[in-house]
Structure 1
Amino acid sequence: MPGREPPPTRAERLRALGAWHAEWQAKHAGSTPFRPERYPGDSDYNQHYVDVEASPEADWEYTVRAREIMGLDPETGQPLDL
């Protein structure tokens, strides 16, 4: 649209999403239980336990911001008409 910056490219959005994930994971790592005994065969659990064990509130926080980053409605996940 004339006079407006173009929307972020998919690559830019994915970089922003990766940065948000790292920030969110660091924010919630201290308050998220670490339970490797529940996943004995999962060698990636140590790296991704916050994703697996996050509280519903933390999970929703991540989802809302991730949707915004990807250009979706934060509540519904539907594409926004830009």
Structure 2
Amino acid sequence: MIGTVPLKVRIKVPATLEQAAKLRKWLEQIAHKTSLPARNFVSNLIYQIKATESEADLLRPEKQAQMAYQAKRLADAGTGPQ
């Protein structure tokens, strides 16, 4: 691919179920467009959001830390085209 530049992302860990739903929708839209290492991190974030049972579950420090870790890995990998 000539002239493509990897896209760097910045993801804020969601604090509400509404924010989580919007993030999940966006992640699902970009999942098939990302390079392989980044696609794994996108998939992990989507799974973590799907596995969230309630807002209290979303706000647990462990869940927030897991999501922040995956978001950082995704941001470091970028979401450039395949």
TM-score by length of 1: 0.37
Q: Which has the higher helix share?
A: 2
TM-score by length of 2: 0.37
